[in-house]
Copies of this chain bind each other. A is one copy, B any other.
Amino acid sequence: MLNQSAALDLMFQALADPGRRMMVERLSRGPASVSELAKPMAMSLPAVVQHLQVLEASGLVSTQKVGRVRTCQIEPAALQLAEQWINERRTLWERRLDRLGDFLAETAKPEDTP
């Protein structure tokens, strides 16, 4: 089990490539075999497999082999972890701006209303 910081390293790294984001995009519409995943991509099957390995190592995608077919699916809990990290920083900033706004409104009052 990776610690959360190492997990975030791998997830953001995995999402930093347009081809891998395209694969996540496809999988968010439902599971797919490796060849289905490769079909719309402008790259070789080995390149797709390599990107898939990066996604799998990051925990964003899991794969399961049944017979000769490897099926890939998205792992929403991992996506949520990455999303949450960003969301928490953004809302922290927004709450800070809100408090600043409140403070300015408070201190402006005595001058505005004689």
Contact = CB atoms under 8 A, between A and B. Distances in A.
Interface of A: 5, 8-10, 12-13, 15-18, 21, 24-25, 27-30, 74, 76, 79-80, 82-83, 85-90, 92-94, 96
Copy total for this chain: 2
A96 B12 contact: no
A18 to B, nearest CB: 5
Contact of A90 (B12, B21, B28): B28
Contact of A92 (B8, B28, B86): B28
A25 B89 contact: yes
B90 A83 contact: yes
A29 B92 contact: yes
Contacts of A5: 18, 21
A15 B25 contact: no
Nearest to A11: B16
